[in-house]
């Protein structure tokens, strides 16, 4: 029987997570996941309307879900929130409540040899992961992102569409790499830093800074 899954976040990425779930179920002989619904503490009217059009229930706030978890049939969760720091806090709350973090991987993802992906991570369509790679918990690899050989990606990292991480890199926890951002070979991006959209990182990035441009500064 399929496992029940709650998606946290009704915004853009949360709804893209629903697309990944649909693709996983469609590719399997039997459905892997049953969506219990979506929780969001501050959903917009537009996002709620989007959920209704695809027949997905809005389950209320995080607090409501955790208060009435048994009635809602929740066993697994995934956090569809793009902000790494917020994602970490939400995941810690759900872990403490005893829910299991689901790992979602679109059927079009390709992996090389010896790749580990942590619980709660979401790998979207077209992601390419090569060889000897470690990806942490609750990582988002967006559409057509790539991760090169011997790279380590920490927990709660967001790699946005078309971004490219080269080989032998270290991406520390809670980093965000913007759309089409590039990290060149052998570099480290420090915890909590942001690589701007289309930026090219050519030297190590310290923690808690924003870099942008070509080369990224």
17-26, pLDDT tens digit by residue?
A: 999 999 999 9
The β-bridge partners of 178 are none
What are the strands, taking DSSP E only, across 65-121? Answer: 76-79, 100-101, 104-105, 110-111, 115-117
The pLDDT score that the predictor gives to residue 1 is 80
The pLDDT score that the predictor gives to residue 171 is 98
Residue 117: name the closest of 127, 19, 143, 86 by CA. 127
List every span in the chain annotated with CATH 3.40.50.20.
Answer: 3-102
- What is the tens place of the pLDDT at every residue in 87-137? 999 999 999 888 899 999 999 999 999 999 999 999 999 999 999 999 999
* DSSP conformation letters of 57-86: PEEE-HHHHHHTHHHHT--EEEE----HHH
Mean pLDDT of the chain: 95
Architecture of domain 3-102: 3-Layer(aba) Sandwich (3.40)
- SS3 (DSSP) at 42: coil
**CB neighbourhood size of 118 (10 A):** 17
Is 75 exposed, middle or buried (CB count within 10 Å of its CB: 0-12, 13-18, 19+)? Answer: middle
List every span in the chain annotated with CATH 2.160.10.10.
Answer: 103-204
- What is the tens place of the pLDDT at every residue in 166-195? 999 999 999 999 999 999 999 999 999 999
Determine if the peptide bond prior to 204 is cis (ω within 30°): no
The pLDDT score that the predictor gives to residue 98 is 86
> Domain 103-204 classified CATH 2.160.10.10?
yes
The β-bridge partners of 133 are 115
pLDDT exceeds 60 at position 153? yes
Cβ(142)–Cβ(158) below 8 Å: yes
pLDDT exceeds 90 at position 42? yes
The pLDDT score that the predictor gives to residue 67 is 81
Residue 81: name the closest of 188, 174, 2 by CA. 174
Phi, psi for 173 (deg, rounded to 5): -55, 145
Two structure tokens written together for 94 = 């759900």
pTM of the complete model: 0.95
Two structure tokens written together for 111 = 């992996």
Cβ(206)–Cβ(190) below 8 Å: yes
Cβ(23)–Cβ(125) below 8 Å: yes
């Amino acid at each position: 029987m399929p496992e029940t899954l709650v998606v946290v976040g009704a915004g853009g990425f949360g709804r893209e997570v629903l697309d990944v779930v649909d693709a996983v179920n469609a590719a399997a002989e039997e459905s892997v996941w049953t969506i219990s619904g979506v929780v969001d503490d501050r959903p917009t009217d537009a996002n709620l309307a989007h959920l209704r059009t695809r027949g997905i229930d809005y389950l209320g706030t995080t607090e409501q879900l955790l208060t009435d978890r048994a009635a809602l049939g929740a066993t697994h969760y995934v956090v569809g929130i793009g902000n790494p720091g917020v994602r970490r806090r939400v995941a810690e709350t759900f872990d403490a409540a005893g829910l299991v973090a689901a790992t979602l991987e679109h059927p079009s993802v390709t992996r090389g040899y010896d790749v580990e992906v942590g619980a709660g991570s979401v790998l979207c369509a077209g992601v390419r992961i090569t060889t000897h790679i470690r990806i942490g918990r609750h990582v988002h690899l967006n559409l057509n992102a790539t991760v090169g050989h011997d790279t380590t990606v920490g927990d709660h990292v967001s790699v946005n569409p078309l971004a490219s991480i080269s080989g032998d890199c270290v991406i520390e926890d809670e980093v965000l790499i913007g759309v089409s951002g590039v990290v060149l070979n052998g570099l480290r991006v420090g915890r909590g830093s942001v690589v701007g959209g289309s930026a090219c990182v050519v030297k190590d990035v310290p923690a808690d800074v924003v870099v942008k441009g070509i080369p990224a500064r």
